[in-house]
Amino acid sequence: MENINWSDLTFGYMKTDYNVRSYYRNGKWSDLEISDSEHLNLPIAATCLHYGQEAFEGLKAFKGKDGKIRIFRMRENALRLQSSAWGIRMEAFPIEQFEKAVVEVVNRNRRFVPPYESGASLYIRPLLIGTSAQVGVKPAQEYLFVVFVTPVGPYFKEGFKTTPVGIYREYDRAAPLGTGTYKVGGNYAASLVPGEIAHKAGYSAVLYLDAKEKKYLDECGPANFFGIKNNTYITPASSSILPSITNKSLIQLAEAIGMKVERRQIPLEELATFEEAGMCGTAAVISPIQRVDDVDNQQSYIFSKDGTPGPISERLYYKLRAIQYGDEADPYGWVTVL
Ligand SMILES: *Cc1c(COP(=O)(O)O)cnc(C)c1O
């Protein structure tokens, strides 16, 4: 594309050529519509604006050395959006239509897919919202599904490295029996105050504890948590964390390299026994943790003295990226090649 400086891209929004939309009206979803507008026209009483009927997804497309574009695990995102829709009583968007919409929006914005060498990628953002005008608290009758794309820079501009995270007990992201397992905007709204406090204190994220007992690790704002010890990949089991597709993928890769995997409650004190710890999600794949500061108790759990990531985090990170960019074979069928 003529004037994008691929190496200057951050995780920001840029208008691209087209987005794809589908409308749920009179009990059925419309065919996909192509739009070149970056705006929506909504009733002021739409349920998404008042009662948070909004769920979203995030996935990426990568350009390989061979010039081909690869989309990572879009069926998983389609399924998760259905789960989120169910969780806040929205009309589920059909899986096949979701995949068709994602392929369509990427194909129509091919000039925005960053070149292989840049280490950047095309971020794909599907969105599902309640659109009918009503003031009573009940699910909308009408919905809009829209998917847009924007090119984003490599998460690690100065190379793969660790960052510190902080624990703040006076904030919760999601309730144990609430909406934490759904990818909904409301959870993000709840995370903005603690997120801002943590960023000002120099942390890249908040590590949330379980909201009820404040004893177990939950997740890190927009990313799941994992720890590594004794050749074992350990990630929290909790009723208030979002099932990360990156985490699911790393679990498979860990097993493939002969590691054990445990998904169970992780008491905070167990951090002291981990050899490595990290956050995982679509944005960074793995963001290795330098140290966890338990801010309330002035206690620190250190995983990297000099800032370098641990060897297993590094191995898993490069393995997953190699599959995403097509540098290595994809034995799992994770990638859709366009
Ligand atoms: C999206 C998200 C993640 C990461 O999920 P991926 O599918 O790996 O991108 C983790 N936690 C929360 C709260 C999220 O919203």
CATH number at residue 239: 3.20.10.10
* CA nearest ligand 1 atom 2, residue: 222
Domain annotation covers residue 19: yes
Q: How far is the CA of 287 from the centre of ligand 1 (A)?
A: 13
* Residue 193, CA distances (Å) to 7, 131, 189, 205 in order: 31, 28, 8, 12
For ligand 1, mutation pick of 155, 282, 286 (most atoms within 8 Å of CB) = 282
Looking up residue 20, the CATH number of its domain turns out to be: 3.30.470.10
**Domain stops at, among 88, 117, 152:** 152
Atom of ligand 1 nearest to the CA of 219: 11
Q: What is the mean pLDDT of the chain?
A: 96
State whether 110 and 186 are in the same domain.
no
Q: What is the distance of C-alpha 260 from the center of its chain?
A: 24
State whether 195 and 300 are in the same domain.
yes
281, 223 Cβ separation under 8 angstroms: yes
Q: Distance (Å, rounded) from C-alpha 297 to C-alpha 286? A: 27
State whether 211 and 292 are in the same domain.
yes
Residue type present at position 59: L
Domain annotation covers residue 338: no
Domain annotation covers residue 275: yes
Residue 312 has pLDDT above 70, yes or no: yes
State whether 181 and 279 are in the same domain.
yes
Average pLDDT (115-128) is 95
Pocket (CB within 6 angstroms of ligand 1):
58, 183, 219, 222-224, 242, 244-247, 281-282
State whether 122 and 212 are in the same domain.
no
CA torsion sign, 8 to 13 to 16 to 20?
positive
The pTM of the whole model exceeds 0.95: yes
State whether 174 and 100 are in the same domain.
no
State whether 197 and 305 are in the same domain.
yes
Atom of ligand 1 nearest to the CA of 245: 7
42, 160 Cβ separation under 8 angstroms: no
Catalytic residues: 183
Domain annotation covers residue 265: yes
State whether 112 and 244 are in the same domain.
no
Average pLDDT (65-70) is 97
Which of 204, 246, 255, 203 minimizes the C-alpha distance to 334? 246
Q: How confident is the model at residue 2 (pLDDT cuts 50, 70, 90)?
A: low
Q: How far is the CA of 244 from the centre of ligand 1 (A)?
A: 5
**Domain stops at, among 127, 152, 177:** 152
Q: How far is the CA of 38 from the centre of ligand 1 (A)?
A: 24
State whether 89 and 169 are in the same domain.
no
**Confidence at residue 159, expressed as pLDDT on a 0 to 100 scale:** 78
Q: How far is the CA of 182 from the centre of ligand 1 (A)?
A: 10
Element (H, E) at 190: helix 185-200
Average pLDDT (320-327) is 97
Residue 1 has pLDDT above 70, yes or no: no
Residue 93 has pLDDT above 70, yes or no: yes
Domain annotation covers residue 256: yes
In tens, the pLDDT along 239-290 reads: 999 999 999 999 999 999 999 999 999 999 999 999 999 999 999 999 999 9
Domain total in the chain? 2
Containing domain of residue 31, as a range? Answer: 6-152
Residue type present at position 156: F
In tens, the pLDDT along 188-226 reads: 999 999 999 999 999 999 999 999 999 999 999 899 999
**Confidence at residue 209, expressed as pLDDT on a 0 to 100 scale:** 98
State whether 129 and 263 are in the same domain.
no
Residue 8 has pLDDT above 80, yes or no: yes
Domain annotation covers residue 332: no
Which of 179, 208, 194 minimizes the C-alpha distance to 52? 179
Domain annotation covers residue 335: no
Residue 150 has pLDDT above 90, yes or no: yes
Q: Distance (Å, rounded) from C-alpha 59 to C-alpha 246? A: 10
Which of 298, 297, 301 minimizes the C-alpha distance to 289? 301
249, 334 Cβ separation under 8 angstroms: yes
State whether 128 and 225 are in the same domain.
no
State whether 209 and 286 are in the same domain.
yes
In tens, the pLDDT along 167-191 reads: 999 999 999 999 999 999 999 999 9
* CA nearest ligand 1 atom 3, residue: 223
**Confidence at residue 158, expressed as pLDDT on a 0 to 100 scale:** 75
Q: How far is the CA of 302 from the centre of ligand 1 (A)?
A: 24
* 3-state secondary structure (DSSP) of residue 249: helix
Average pLDDT (63-82) is 98
**Domain stops at, among 91, 120, 152:** 152
Atom of ligand 1 nearest to the CA of 281: 8
